[in-house]
Structure 1
């Protein structure tokens, strides 16, 4: 399965804890959990707590907005634009320092069954068999089609082939999921 998406046309839903909104890109279901892996883009309107997800690993990447802090327990992490950061879904984290609305990309995997790697790239890539490619800026060829900022593809159990930059400013968020 290779599925294209436009961020603006994805349905909006509320966070698990009701503290914000997200647009789900993909949700690969699991017979014994809410998902095997899922990816979404959340809107950051104001400071607040993250939803807790036991047994889940997360990677968050700030897409739009100023730097902010993720704090809780022993964690005191500065989240910067386009710099992915991994953390356990059980960690009681909250955002601090949101001044203007922003957005983040979030990918979650069931810890015992999958893992995700997220990177921001500007060169051609040949990704793993599961994942999401989200154009941050410029133009890209993804699975043989042209994509612009705030669009992309997700795929499962097959490779989309080579992902190719088509403009000098082309920047892509690439999330690859490896099943265990």
Structure 2
């Protein structure tokens, strides 16, 4: 049986993030801005942040103009619209429409995707995984409680509303905030505090 590598106690706890504090980076094709939320290698601790090409990455991208997406050979991608008024992704034989926040779409990383905005800029929450090495399950929770499962790595991001957790969270998650939950962490519970709350959850495991 494979055992998880030991990690210092401080690194087996959920880490909170705020979109406003994440470092901006140019897209691989220099046509947009992205911010890395978390990235990792299967079987390795989440921190310190890996160098080189990770097996998985979660990021948030701002799109201000129409144009092609970056290509990632051997990777699978899934995107969630978290802000904006529409986005259309297309490639030969593929059409993905994001009409409202919380809409999702999955596509191969090597697919030549072209993006067309609706009425204004858009923001995407992106998950990318190395095919046959790692896998991710993306879900959208609307007015529904979330509970992580220890043994898997999780990333959660608030699209709308407030999400109250246990003492480890210290303060509710609000729009643009989230948690990175390492596989070694104990269960994390988040509960919406009012109707209309929307949360993106990502569960990451070895393939």
List aligned pairs for 1:1-180, cutoff 5 A: 1=12, 2-29=14-41, 34-81=53-100, 82-121=102-141, 122-128=143-149, 129-142=152-165, 144=167, 145=169, 146-158=172-184, 159-180=186-207
Is the 2:86–2:119 contact (alpha carbons within 8 Å) kept by the matching residues of 1?
no
- Which digits, 9 at most, give the CA deviation of each residue in 1:36-85, with x for residues without a partner? 11111100100111111111111101111112211111112212321111
Is the 1:45–1:98 contact (alpha carbons within 8 Å) kept by the matching residues of 2?
no
Q: How far apart in 2 are the matches of 1:47 and 1:57?
A: 22
Structure with more strand by fraction: 1
Q: Secondary structure at the match of 2:54?
A: strand
> Taking structure 2 as the reference length, what is the TM-score of the superposition?
0.80
Taking structure 1 as reference, are residues 163 and 179 closer, same or farther at Cα in structure 2, changes over 3 Å only?
farther
Taking structure 1 as reference, are residues 54 and 41 closer, same or farther at Cα in structure 2, changes over 3 Å only?
same
Q: Secondary structure at the match of 1:147?
A: coil
Larger radius of gyration between Structure 1 and Structure 2: 2
**Cα displacement (A) at 1:111:** 1.0
Q: How far apart in 2 are the matches of 1:20 and 1:143?
A: 36
Is the 1:142–1:152 contact (alpha carbons within 8 Å) kept by the matching residues of 2?
no
Taking structure 1 as reference, are residues 77 and 169 closer, same or farther at Cα in structure 2, changes over 3 Å only?
closer
Q: How far apart in 2 are the matches of 1:67 and 1:16?
A: 23
Q: Secondary structure at the match of 1:163?
A: strand
Taking structure 1 as reference, are residues 80 and 142 closer, same or farther at Cα in structure 2, changes over 3 Å only?
farther
